[in-house]
Structure 1
Amino acid sequence: MDINQLLVIAIFATTLVALILTNKRPSSIFAGSLLALILCQQLSVVDVVNNFTNQGLITLILLLIVSTAVDKTSLVKRLGRTLIVASFKHSFWRLFGLTFFSSAFLNNTAVVASLIGPTKQNQYHPASRLLIPLSYAAILGGTVTLIGTSTNLIVDSFMREHGHPGFNFWDFTLYGLVAGLSCGLLMFILTPLLPVIENKNRQYNSYFIEAKVEADSELVGKSVEQNHLRNLPELFLVEVVRNGKLISPVNPELVIQENDKLIFSGDIHKVDNLSHIKGLTLFAESNGLLRENLTEVIISNRAQIIGKTLKSVGFRALFDAAVVAIRRDGETLSGKLGEIKLQSGDFLLLATGPDFVKRQNLTKNFFILSEKKVATKLLNKQEWVTLGGFVITIALAATSMISLATGLVFFLALLVATGVTSTNEIKRHLPLELIIVIVGALSLASALEGAGVINSLTHLVEPLMANSSPFMALVMVYLTTLLLTEVVTNNAAAALMFPFAYGLVESLGVPLMPFALAVAFAASASFISPYGYQTNLLVFSASNYKFKHFIKFGLPISICYSTIVLALLKYTYQL
């Protein structure tokens, strides 16, 4: 090997070791690899810039940005509240079904993030018996279509980079459906292996939040339990104010009536789960000021509003702001929000109007602490535009009438035009770290191929494969990718393994498609480690799981999934 090949191999090996053995972000590691390749003159800056225009990468970025807008809709959140019921069997299959089929078309990480709260909050079953199946259902659902997981789009981007047309929308569906539903059945059979452990206590400051039941509310005439008001993520119904009288504690059989004031306590960042309930109006909404950007303030010790209520002081007119929630350290608040007497040191979360910052009385009354962001409720028209536009875009791409990237560009423009999202929001949700990982991996692959490393390695492997079938080569690629995805991340595993799979395909003279599918499916098959896939990490952080719980439950799932995928690939492509 010449010096260039040795340099590229050293950078590749260092990247792999850093991904496995360090806690550095993959984006930082790949950025370092990029700089090293440019410094060693194995790549030019122009080569790196060209990788930023990869069509698969652009499609992935557009899809992730659009997914944040779709996640604003009430669809998954509303369904999530009703999922968990008294029967564990029904709860499991309802949770699995919603997660599996949602993840085939929506960002599976966002789906899991939306459903963790209702799953943890449920009053019937230990969350530890449902959270790992929730994550695995999302992983399995993501393998059903091209857009189900970023891994599929990363492999697609590599195929296009090498001059191939890439995947069609439904290329994954046969394998994903058969493997996914089979593993779902196995998971249900294996649920006795899951631990029964207490929920992890989340550290957040509990705010006091008021919401009014309107006449047309879906809650009216049904009990607290029927309305699933005890399944709201990190929000607890502590009181009901009815006709000026306080009902506390709240009985699950209490029937909700028109004009009831529901008093919640909990994490203010989850307040959007209330705004998605039809006919439930937050205190700030009734003042017409609930916005995405909320300002947190603390009442100063010389404030003129101390000892007065929000109602008596005319808070909206005085400050051009409405109170979303109140928090008082060391004391539990009670009653209607507008009738609580304010004290020095009270924390207020304010939805502010345009004149708020201009008011001269702010410094006399408040210390302004910070801005908080909460998701705001979409209008009915915006919900229809978002969901309808997404379905139409996916349908057009799935039937090959337009490319997915083209459809997403026009759909994103529609979202901006209708106010569902904004240019500032797009900038905030730009997946910069993922972009760096993919561009870094594309560049590393280009360097490996340009320096002749891939050719050298495939020549070494050729004698070993001479007496073997192409299927054995496929199994080798699959198992290596599977091992990598458990110790690094799914995206990094796909990015690192594809160049070697491609080199092997070129050497053996076999079709690329089964090997590309093998890399994509194996990179998504993170069932043994909590660190290989984002959804696993989410449920791991949300509970008191240990590493052994994933191994014990996930190993049979991984074996079942891998066996089915490999058998179907062998049968389909006659390997």
Structure 2
Amino acid sequence: MDIDQLLVTGIFIATIGALVVTDKRPSAIFSVTILLLLATGQLSLTQVSHGLTNQGLLTLILLLLVSGGVDKTSLIKSLGRKLITPSYRQSYWRLFGLTFTSSALLNNTAIVASLIGPVSQNQFHPPSRLLILLSYAAIFGGTVTLIGTSTNLIVDSFLIEQGHPGFAFLDFTLYGLTAGLACGLLMFLLSPLLPDIQVNVPDYKEYFIEAKVLPDSPLVGKTVEENHLRNLPELFLVEIIRQGHLLTPVTPEMMIEAGDKLIFSGNVKRVDSLSHIPGLTLFAETNGLLRENLTEVVISNRAKLIDKTLKQVGFRAMFDAAVVAIRRDGENLSGKLGDIRLQAGDNLLLATGPDFSDRNNLTKNFFILTEHTIARKLSPWQERVTLGGFLGTVLLSATNIVPLAVGLTFLLALMVYAGITSGSELKRNLPVSLAMVIVGSLALATALEQSGVISTLNAALLPYLESSSPFVALVVIYLLTLLLTELVTNNAAAALMFPFAWGLVQLLNVPVLPFALAVAFAASASFISPWGYQTNLLVFSAGNYRISHFVKMGVPVSLLYSSIVLVMLKVSFGL
């Protein structure tokens, strides 16, 4: 090897080492990789910036931005409340079916984040018996389509960078569907091995929240359990106020009536779960003030509000704000929000009007702490535009009528025009870290190829591969990617292994598609380690698991999943 090859190889090994042994973000590590490649003269700034215009990267960014709007719809939230039943078998297949199906089209990390709450708070089964399965089902679903996981789009971006047209929308479907369903059955058979663990105590501070049942609400005439009001994420129904009478404790068999005031206690950032229940309205919604940003204040010791109720002081008129929730440290509140006598030190979460910040009585009554961002409820027509537009875009892409990136661009513009999302929200949701990983990995791949490292490595491997079938090379690439994804992350594993897969394809003169699919599937197949995939990390802390729990379930799942994918690739492409 010459000096350039040694430098690039050293940077490549250092990148993998940093991903494995440090706790630094992959985006920060790949940023340093780019700087080293520039400093050593292995790449020019023009070559690095070329990665920013990669079509696969642009498609991924557009998809994640659109997914932010889709996540606001009530579909997944309403289905999530109905998932868990007294029957474990029924609960398992409901959870698997919803997660697997939705993850094929939506961001699987967002799906898991949305469903962790209902699963963790179910009244029938220990969450640890379901959360690992939730993560694995999301991984399976993500491998069914091109847009199911960012890993597929990262490999697609590398193909496009090499002059290949990239994946078709359904190139993954046959393999992902077969392997996913088979592993879903295996997980059900292995479910008795799952532990019964007490979940972590929530680290949020509980607020006191009131919602009213409207006369035409579909909740009316059904019990608390039938309305799934006990499965809300991090929100607990503690009281019902009916015609001035306090009903507590709330039992699952208690019937809901029109005009009931439902009193919840829990994480105020989950208040959007109440907004998505039809026929249930928060106090601030009836006043037209509930927006995405809520302001948290503390009542000062000089406030005129002390020992008075919200009704007595005319809170809305006085401050151009409505109280969404109240929290009082060291005391459990009870009764209607408007009848609670306020005290110094009470925390109020306010939905504010346009004149709130101009009121001259704020500093006399409050210490303003911070803003909380909640997901704003979409109107019915906005939900139809969002879901219909997204499904239409996917259908047009799957049938090769409109390219996915073009369809997502127009859909995003429509969502901004319809008020479903905003420019500031798009800036906030821009996946800068993920983009940096892709740009950095593209730059590293370019340096590996340009310096001759790949060709040198392939020449060394040639004597061993000439006498074997291409399937052996495919298995080697798959297993190396699988090992790497368990050690680092799925996206980094895909990015680091694709250049070597491409080099082998050129060396053996075989089709690139099975090798690209092998990299994508292996990079997503993180079942043994809780750190290899984001969904595993989410349920790892939520379920209070140990690494041994992932190993016990993950090893058989990984073996079956990998065997099915490799055999199907061999048969499909005649390797």
Instruction: Give the TM-score of the pair, scaled to structure 2.
Output: 1.00
Shift in Å, 1:216: 1.5
- Match for 2:345: what amino acid? G
Classify the secondary structure of the residue corresponding to 1:226: coil
Once residues 403 and 218 of structure 2 are traced to their aligned partners in structure 1, the CA distance between those partners, rounded to angstroms, is 40
Q: What does residue range 25-36 of structure 1 map to in structure 2 within 5 Å?
A: 25-36=25-36
Does 2:324 align with 1:324? Answer: yes
Does 2:59 align with 1:94? Answer: no
Once residues 141 and 75 of structure 2 are traced to their aligned partners in structure 1, the CA distance between those partners, rounded to angstroms, is 17
Once residues 466 and 81 of structure 1 are traced to their aligned partners in structure 2, the CA distance between those partners, rounded to angstroms, is 56
Shift in Å, 1:218: 1.6
Once residues 46 and 310 of structure 1 are traced to their aligned partners in structure 2, the CA distance between those partners, rounded to angstroms, is 61
Q: Is the 8 A contact 1:378 1:420 kept in 2?
A: yes
Equivalent pairs, count: 575
Give the match for residue 428 of structure 1.
Answer: 428
Q: Is the 8 A contact 1:274 1:280 kept in 2?
A: yes
Once residues 523 and 206 of structure 2 are traced to their aligned partners in structure 1, the CA distance between those partners, rounded to angstroms, is 40
Once residues 218 and 448 of structure 2 are traced to their aligned partners in structure 1, the CA distance between those partners, rounded to angstroms, is 60
Q: What does residue range 311-390 of structure 1 map to in structure 2 within 5 Å?
A: 311-390=311-390
Once residues 393 and 508 of structure 2 are traced to their aligned partners in structure 1, the CA distance between those partners, rounded to angstroms, is 38
Does 2:524 align with 1:527? Answer: no
Once residues 216 and 474 of structure 2 are traced to their aligned partners in structure 1, the CA distance between those partners, rounded to angstroms, is 59
Once residues 452 and 423 of structure 1 are traced to their aligned partners in structure 2, the CA distance between those partners, rounded to angstroms, is 44
Spell out structure 1 runs of 4+ moving beyond 2 A.
none
Does 2:157 align with 1:177? Answer: no
Once residues 327 and 287 of structure 1 are traced to their aligned partners in structure 2, the CA distance between those partners, rounded to angstroms, is 21
Once residues 408 and 452 of structure 1 are traced to their aligned partners in structure 2, the CA distance between those partners, rounded to angstroms, is 38
Shift in Å, 1:180: 0.3
Q: Deviations over 1:347-391 (max 9, x none)?
A: 000000110010000000000011111111111111001000001
Q: Deviations over 1:70-105 (max 9, x none)?
A: 000000000000000000000000000000010000
Q: What does residue range 118-197 of structure 1 map to in structure 2 within 5 Å?
A: 118-197=118-197
Shift in Å, 1:569: 0.3
Give the match for residue 198 of structure 1.
Answer: 198
Give the match for residue 473 of structure 1.
Answer: 473
Once residues 20 and 408 of structure 1 are traced to their aligned partners in structure 2, the CA distance between those partners, rounded to angstroms, is 35
Shift in Å, 1:460: 0.5
Once residues 534 and 190 of structure 1 are traced to their aligned partners in structure 2, the CA distance between those partners, rounded to angstroms, is 23
Cα RMSD of the aligned pairs, angstroms, is 0.5
Classify the secondary structure of the residue corresponding to 2:555: helix
Shift in Å, 1:305: 1.0
- Match for 2:248: what amino acid? S
Shift in Å, 1:467: 1.1
Q: Is the 8 A contact 1:505 1:511 kept in 2?
A: yes
Once residues 498 and 452 of structure 2 are traced to their aligned partners in structure 1, the CA distance between those partners, rounded to angstroms, is 15
Q: Is the 8 A contact 1:237 1:263 kept in 2?
A: yes
Once residues 139 and 146 of structure 2 are traced to their aligned partners in structure 1, the CA distance between those partners, rounded to angstroms, is 13
Once residues 218 and 524 of structure 1 are traced to their aligned partners in structure 2, the CA distance between those partners, rounded to angstroms, is 41
Give the match for residue 40 of structure 1.
Answer: 40
Classify the secondary structure of the residue corresponding to 1:52: helix
Shift in Å, 1:463: 0.6
- Match for 1:237: what amino acid? L
Q: Deviations over 1:201-255 (max 9, x none)?
A: 1111100000000011121100001111110011000000000000011111110
Once residues 218 and 506 of structure 1 are traced to their aligned partners in structure 2, the CA distance between those partners, rounded to angstroms, is 62
- Match for 1:474: what amino acid? L
Give the match for residue 255 of structure 2.
Answer: 255
Classify the secondary structure of the residue corresponding to 1:368: strand
Q: Deviations over 1:509-565 (max 9, x none)?
A: 111000000000000000000000000000001121000000001100000000000
Q: Is the 8 A contact 1:236 1:264 kept in 2?
A: yes
Once residues 548 and 62 of structure 1 are traced to their aligned partners in structure 2, the CA distance between those partners, rounded to angstroms, is 38
Shift in Å, 1:425: 0.2
Q: Deviations over 1:113-149 (max 9, x none)?
A: 0000000000000100100000000000000000000
Q: What does residue range 12-91 of structure 1 map to in structure 2 within 5 Å?
A: 12-91=12-91
- Match for 1:65: what amino acid? L
Q: Is the 8 A contact 1:218 1:277 kept in 2?
A: no
Q: Deviations over 1:180-205 (max 9, x none)?
A: 00000000000011111111111111
Q: What does residue range 188-337 of structure 1 map to in structure 2 within 5 Å?
A: 188-337=188-337
Once residues 46 and 308 of structure 2 are traced to their aligned partners in structure 1, the CA distance between those partners, rounded to angstroms, is 65
Shift in Å, 1:288: 1.1
Give the match for residue 484 of structure 2.
Answer: 484
Shift in Å, 1:41: 0.6
Q: What does residue range 530-541 of structure 1 map to in structure 2 within 5 Å?
A: 530-541=530-541
- Match for 1:142: what amino acid? G
Give the match for residue 391 of structure 2.
Answer: 391
Once residues 462 and 64 of structure 1 are traced to their aligned partners in structure 2, the CA distance between those partners, rounded to angstroms, is 41
* Identical positions, percent: 68
Once residues 216 and 519 of structure 1 are traced to their aligned partners in structure 2, the CA distance between those partners, rounded to angstroms, is 53
Classify the secondary structure of the residue corresponding to 2:53: coil
Instruction: Give the TM-score of the pair, scaled to structure 1.
Output: 1.00
Shift in Å, 1:286: 1.3
Once residues 295 and 331 of structure 1 are traced to their aligned partners in structure 2, the CA distance between those partners, rounded to angstroms, is 22
- Match for 1:68: what amino acid? G
Once residues 74 and 276 of structure 2 are traced to their aligned partners in structure 1, the CA distance between those partners, rounded to angstroms, is 5
Classify the secondary structure of the residue corresponding to 1:238: strand
Once residues 247 and 405 of structure 1 are traced to their aligned partners in structure 2, the CA distance between those partners, rounded to angstroms, is 54
Shift in Å, 1:487: 0.3
Once residues 388 and 36 of structure 1 are traced to their aligned partners in structure 2, the CA distance between those partners, rounded to angstroms, is 46
Once residues 382 and 222 of structure 2 are traced to their aligned partners in structure 1, the CA distance between those partners, rounded to angstroms, is 28
Q: Is the 8 A contact 1:241 1:335 kept in 2?
A: yes
Once residues 434 and 216 of structure 1 are traced to their aligned partners in structure 2, the CA distance between those partners, rounded to angstroms, is 45
Once residues 542 and 395 of structure 2 are traced to their aligned partners in structure 1, the CA distance between those partners, rounded to angstroms, is 35
- Match for 1:534: what amino acid? Q
Give the match for residue 453 of structure 1.
Answer: 453
Shift in Å, 1:480: 0.2
Once residues 58 and 237 of structure 1 are traced to their aligned partners in structure 2, the CA distance between those partners, rounded to angstroms, is 43
Once residues 359 and 525 of structure 1 are traced to their aligned partners in structure 2, the CA distance between those partners, rounded to angstroms, is 56
Give the match for residue 572 of structure 1.
Answer: 572
Classify the secondary structure of the residue corresponding to 1:208: strand
Q: Is the 8 A contact 1:143 1:149 kept in 2?
A: yes
- Match for 1:90: what amino acid? Q
- Match for 1:527: what amino acid? F
Q: Deviations over 1:480-531 (max 9, x none)?
A: 0000000000000000000000000000111100000000000000000000
Once residues 349 and 542 of structure 1 are traced to their aligned partners in structure 2, the CA distance between those partners, rounded to angstroms, is 26
Give the match for residue 502 of structure 2.
Answer: 502
Unaligned 5+ segments in structure 1 are none
Classify the secondary structure of the residue corresponding to 1:332: coil
- Match for 1:124: what amino acid? F
Give the match for residue 544 of structure 1.
Answer: 544
Q: What does residue range 403-442 of structure 1 map to in structure 2 within 5 Å?
A: 403-442=403-442
Once residues 451 and 199 of structure 1 are traced to their aligned partners in structure 2, the CA distance between those partners, rounded to angstroms, is 51
- Match for 2:123: what amino acid? Q
